[in-house]
Structure 1
């Protein structure tokens, strides 16, 4: 399958999200909240965008390891495919478990658990940093002797399956509960209830948890999210807050051994006051007002545009030159940051809008070079500098009323 056809996963997943929303409404439940959904999708868009550039690197990495360090020469066959799938899931279990038990790994995995809802959009909360971290665990596969083609296909299947376990619309599934990871099992994993903490790490096959003593059955209704809620929908804060907490905690210690204990220790070893201090510095509390609906409309329009843009970039990536790829990618990433900043009514969003304008102008100039466009970019830059205060006032009047 040509990689450009992976673009169709976007509308397909959106259809499933829409169906889940309609089913939850018919059940009299409210499984979707606007800000939470926007935060989930923006993180997912960023990861899928960066996947465009990393997927080839990961393939080359697996191919290099198999050809230079592979112990066996494993051929394609029914038993080798089954063995590869089981090994992939076993390695995921240990990556996932350590991702909850080791602070430096938790710093890249925590993003997946920040949502206080549980629906299909939560499955999108994967970052490129998490993809890199788990790739090191999967490095064992090519060293054993599985080739890059087999690994890539199994990882694709392994990546699709958990999308369907992130839902509350499906109850328990009878005998399947004993073999596969079901929505019921994964609801437990995302819960912050004390009896559910650090349980059900498996991705496809639940028997790993039963084998290693980390299984818990869903009994009481789960409460979702972190044990200490994040209180922010900022794209940047969601990605980097825990890394900042680790840096802050390390700076408060003197010896290297103490710093290593923090980085390699469990999340509960971090003083909760660290986050409170950082939130005072970086998170400005805001209140909903009569203009929030206007902001939501503006964010919705941007989000729709970003999803369409992501589809087009993935589909036409091989036809775009390197400069266009970089400029479009920066435009999307800045727009994702902008969505989170709008939800939190940050006053510096005007600068992001200016950067987006510059990036669009650069794309036009690069693809349709002409003196008129270049002159227009120069005039726009001059007007932005000359009338920045007026533009700010008008922008905030337009967006926030």
Structure 2
């Protein structure tokens, strides 16, 4: 059964909503709204978004047609005309509840994919592109790194392996992307009961903040249950002024600099020590790790602050 990726219809909507938010912000009396969009920053975001859109069909071919289908065929062979999983159950069909389960598993995979993008520096070097703007708006939503799409499918390949059709997973990935896009708005307030289980706009503001108490929080896709289960959930405190962006910003509107600056920093850090373990950790340890303590990870900073608090 063939399905169309929802993003085919979503991309024109993305551009229309960006234009709508941009127009509203520039004509709003609030000073923060007038500063919501920076023209050069928006230009960089749109350039990277267009690049992602060009690369997406290629990676979709690799991921959906080759990787997902290959895994599905290997782990779900035809037995007497029936698709059976090698673990002994019949592979899943297209019942409505199967779609819901697939979407839940997709969100679970997204959580770990997203969390590892923040915990493994080599992956962070690709993902930092999305966080590199100090503006939080729908333009930032399309500011995607070009390299994450090459390894993202590997976080999801277990889903077709257990029997979900590859085309179903592709649709669920598209739905996840649609939800993620619209989260990048400061104009949607807290949403009451929905906040208890959904990943909302205010929660995503927390995720994009460089405030210490907010960093590495709220990695969920459309649900927040996995953040709550695994200790990475944080509610927005409206008394705290958010500072968006990253602590080591590219300080450039050049898309190529934005896309590659963290890889350059990794290379420079690896040259600081001849020890191969140190080199490995600079590339694959948590961002901020250093062999001499000259820079610290977020966890190390928090532990240090807790220790100082106990002493005082």
User: Are the equivalent residues in 2 in contact too, given 1:21–1:32 (CA < 8 A)?
Assistant: yes
How many residue pairs match? The answer is 274
Structure 2: 5+ residue stretches without partners: 77-84, 296-312
Distance 1:3 1:82, change over 3 A: closer
Runs of at least 4 residues off by over 4 Å: 1-8, 270-274
Match of 2:286 among 266, 280, 285: 266
Deviations 1:125-154 (A, max 9, x none): 222311122211011111111111111111
Partner Cα distance (2:13, 2:294) in 1 = 43
Secondary structure of the corresponding residue to residue 259 of structure 1: helix
Mapped pair 1:67 → 2:34: no
Query: Match of 1:16?
Result: 17
Match of 1:52 among 49, 57, 60: 57
Please, which of 152, 157, 160 is the counterpart of residue 142 of structure 1?
160
1:128 is aligned to 2:146: yes
| Structure 1 stretch displaced more, 27-36 or 3-12 | 3-12
Aligned-pair distance for 1:256?
2.4
- 3-state secondary structure, aligned to 2:51: helix
| 1:204 is the counterpart of 2:222 | yes
Aligned to 2:113: 95
Aligned pair in 2 of structure 1 residues 6, 216: CA closer, same or farther (>3 Å)? closer
> What whole-Å deviation, never above 9, does each CA across 1:11-60 have from its counterpart, x for those lacking one?
32121112212333335222111011011111100000111222122112
Query: How big is the shift at 1:273?
Result: 8.8
Counterpart selection for 1:84 from 81, 102, 121 = 102
**What CA distance in whole angstroms lies between the structure 1 residues aligned with 2:170 and 2:20?**
29
1:155 and 1:98 mapped to 2: Cα distance?
Answer: 18
C-alpha deviations, 1:259-318, integer Å up to 9, x for none? 2222221111159999xxxxxxxxxxxxxxxxxxxxxxxxxxxxxxxxxxxxxxxxxxxx
Distance 2:22 2:143 in 1: 18
Distance 1:228 1:165, change over 3 A: same
Matches within 5 A, 1:244-393: 244-270=264-290
CA distance in 1, matches of 2:142, 2:224: 21
Task: Tell me how far apart the structure 2 counterparts of residues 205 and 239 of structure 1 sit (CA, whole Å).
Answer: 28
TM-score by length of 1: 0.64
CA shift, 1:4, in A, is 10
Tell me the residue number matched to 2:299.
none
What is the CA–CA distance in structure 1 between the aligned matches of 2:138 and 2:132, rounded to whole Å?
A: 14
Matched, 1:229 2:230: no
Cα-to-partner distance string for 1:189-221 (whole Å, 9 max, x where unaligned) = 000111111111111101111111111111123
Task: Please give the TM-score of this superposition, normalised by the length of structure 2.
Answer: 0.82
Unaligned runs of 5+ in 1: 275-401
Distance 1:164 1:257, change over 3 A: same
Partner Cα separation in structure 1 for residue 72 and residue 185 of structure 2:
37
**Per-residue Cα deviation, 1:219-267 (whole angstroms, up to 9, x for no partner):** 1231100023321111111111111111222233223222222222111
**What is the alpha-carbon root mean square deviation over aligned residues?**
2.2
Quote the residue 1:331 is aligned against.
none
